[in-house]
Structure formats: C-alpha cells, structure tokens
Amino acid sequence: MEPILEGPVEVRSHLGPDDERSLADDVLDGLTRPLKELPPKHLYDARGSELFDAICELPEYYQTRTERLILEAHAQDIVRRTGAVELVELGSGSATKTRVLLDAMAAAGTLARYIPVDVSATTVHAVAELFADEYPGLSVFGLVADFERHLERLPEPVGPRLVPFLGGTIGNFPPGSRRRFLRSLGKVLGPDGYLLLGTDLVKDPRVIEAAYNDSAGVTAQFNLNVLHVLNRELGADFDVDAFEHVAFFDREREWIEMRLRATQPQHVRIDALDLEIDFAAREELRTEISAKFTLDGLRADLDAAGLELVELFTDPNELFAVSLARVAG
C-alpha cells in the first residue's frame, strides 16, 4: 500500500475494505453466539478513541496515572538497560505516556525512530505528526493496523528495539490467546529487543469496578459507542438509548467484563450482513474483558510465551505493573 505521508513522517494503513469485512465477520460471528460478544478493538473509532482519552483523565481510572508514575521513575533505567534506539508501540492510542520514554531516549542520545501501531487511524496520524514535530530528527513510521494480524508488516529494526504495550491492553485477550499473542511478539522483538508490558493488578474489586463505572458516565458512553459504529459501518439499526452499560469484576476469572444490556426486547437489522438479531429484555452483549494480574500469574504468562522477565516495576500500592521482558535465551 502507498505511504500516505512521506519524509521523516510516514504513515501506512493496512486497514481497508478487507477490514470492513473483518468488522462484518466479527459481528456475524459474535452476535450469533449464545452469549453475544464483540472484540474490544471495535470500540476504538475516532469517537471511541476520544472517549478513551477522557476515561484516562477520570479520578476513578487509576491505571493511566499510576503507569505514568512507574514509567517516570524507571524510564532512564529502562533505556540504559535496553540500549533502545527505536520504539514500536502496540495499541499506541494518543501515546501520552510514551513521551516519558522518548524523553529518556532523547536524553541518552539514542532516539532514532518511533513506530506507533493502532487500529485507530486518527490517533496514529495525530501522534505521528505531533512527535515528528516535537522531537527533531526523529523518524516516525506509523502503522494503522491490527496488531493481531499485521505485525509482519513492521519494518526491520534499525537497532535495539523497545516494544511498549501499555495501558493494560494485554488484559483484553482471554488467557490462551494472551499467551499465543505474547509468543508471537518474539519475532517483533528479535534477539536484541525488549517488551515493556503494562498490566493492571488484582486488587480490591471495589477499586477496579469503580474504574469502569465512573460517576461521570464516560465509560458508559465509550461502551455504547460501539453500537454507533455498527449502525454507521454496517447499516445496523440499534436503538442505542435502549441499551445500558454494565461492568463487573468476575472474581473467579479475575477480569472485568464490560457488557451492554438491552433494557427492553430489541429486534435489530444489520443491512450489510442481511442479518436480523433479537435481544430479549435484559439480554447482554459482552464488549470487553480486561484481565487483572497477580505477579505470579504475570510471570507464568511470560514464561509460557517463551519470554524472560528481566525486571518488574510497580507502584508502592501495587496497583499496576510494568514488566521488561525479552525472548528467553
């Protein structure tokens, strides 16, 4: 595919008509199951990405500010240990915390390239242009892509590579796929690369549940937005006002579930799929899981994925963890 921007900033998109197909396939597959379900990546259109940024600023959402504090405390050490010259950031979003790493690399004189990878085209373009502007001499190569399908489209490393996967996004994978995905990162890391993985930790369920049921209702809007995506992209006729946001911590599986609950019986037509779907009153559609980790569970996942934990950083209250890992030798 032709580059959209050229020069020190280049953005390539690997999401095209095939990916409208991918949304259609996910909807056909997910909404015809006994427990209706959609993969969380469809929450992030331009509006969804804006709402996620607003969530990150909420008082209840401790994850972002805690992860930023951990990065601020250890960025220099991370850069020194890894000798990283480039960042390949998975699910980069608006990359607000990434500056902490870029600043540490710039201060160490190693900063050469930044590669944001996200399904949200608006955020990849915005971040690519912003960072190319803010960091003179930085080469930026943005990928609008699905990190589950397009990692082989990454360019060859220009030197030791650090791969931040922040924001607890790894928690969106169920356990088996999580390990498979982490294993697939081995090729992206190569022999000299390091993964920097942000994970939310298991804690008092009231604290976790409050983060997904904020009093301003922003998470509810973020969750409901996926129905707008389906209405717009697939010609569906969901009555968005007839669904409500639900989020609860499943103590057995140690994950948050976000769901949309029909407040009354619904009949929905999805033109692009020529599909009719019924929701019973109070029937729920699962839109996201967000796994919370114990330190032992995290080590076991990395181990099972053929990754070696080099260092684990956390905050004094053990709310969140950032792990530095590499391919096991």
Ligand X SMILES: C[S@@+](CC[C@H](N)C(=O)[O-])C[C@H]1O[C@@H](n2cnc3c(N)ncnc32)[C@H](O)[C@@H]1O
Name residues contacting ligand X, limited to 281-310 (CB under 6 A): none
Question: Considering beta carbons, is residue 268 or 324 the nearer one to ligand X?
Answer: 324
- Is 119 an interacting residue with respect to ligand X (CB under 6 A)? yes
- Beta bridge partners, 139, equal 113
- Beta bridge partners, 140, equal 9, 114
Near ligand X by CB under 6 A: residue from 66, 92, 225, 323 = 92
* Residue nearest ligand X, CB atom distance: 167
- Is 147 an interacting residue with respect to ligand X (CB under 6 A)? yes
Query: How far is residue 250's CA from residue 37's CA, in Å, rounded to a whole number?
Result: 16
Binding track, positions 148-167, relative to ligand X; x by CB under 6 A? x-----------------xx
Binding track, positions 34-73, relative to ligand X; x by CB under 6 A? -------x--x----x--x---x-------x---------
Near ligand X by CB under 6 A: residue from 146, 257, 311, 315 = 146
Q: What does the DSSP assignment read for 87-111?
A: EEEET-TT-TTHHHHHHHHHHHT--
- Is 193 an interacting residue with respect to ligand X (CB under 6 A)? no
Least distance in angstroms from the C-beta of 105 to ligand X? 17
Least distance in angstroms from the C-beta of 36 to ligand X? 19
Is 250:271 a contact under the CB 8 Å cutoff? no
Is 212:219 a contact under the CB 8 Å cutoff? yes
Near ligand X by CB under 6 A: residue from 27, 91, 223, 302 = 91
The site for ligand X, by CB under 6 A, has a size of: 21
Least distance in angstroms from the C-beta of 236 to ligand X? 21
Query: How far is residue 84's CA from residue 103's CA, in Å, rounded to a whole number?
Result: 12
Query: How far is residue 326's CA from residue 329's CA, in Å, rounded to a whole number?
Result: 9
Q: Which two tokens stand for residue 144?
A: 């609008």
- Is 223 an interacting residue with respect to ligand X (CB under 6 A)? no
Query: How far is residue 267's CA from residue 237's CA, in Å, rounded to a whole number?
Result: 9
Is 125:1 a contact under the CB 8 Å cutoff? no
Query: How far is residue 53's CA from residue 240's CA, in Å, rounded to a whole number?
Result: 22
Q: Which positions lie near ligand X, rule CB under 6 A?
A: 41, 44, 49, 52, 56, 64, 91-93, 97, 117-120, 123, 146-148, 166-167, 169
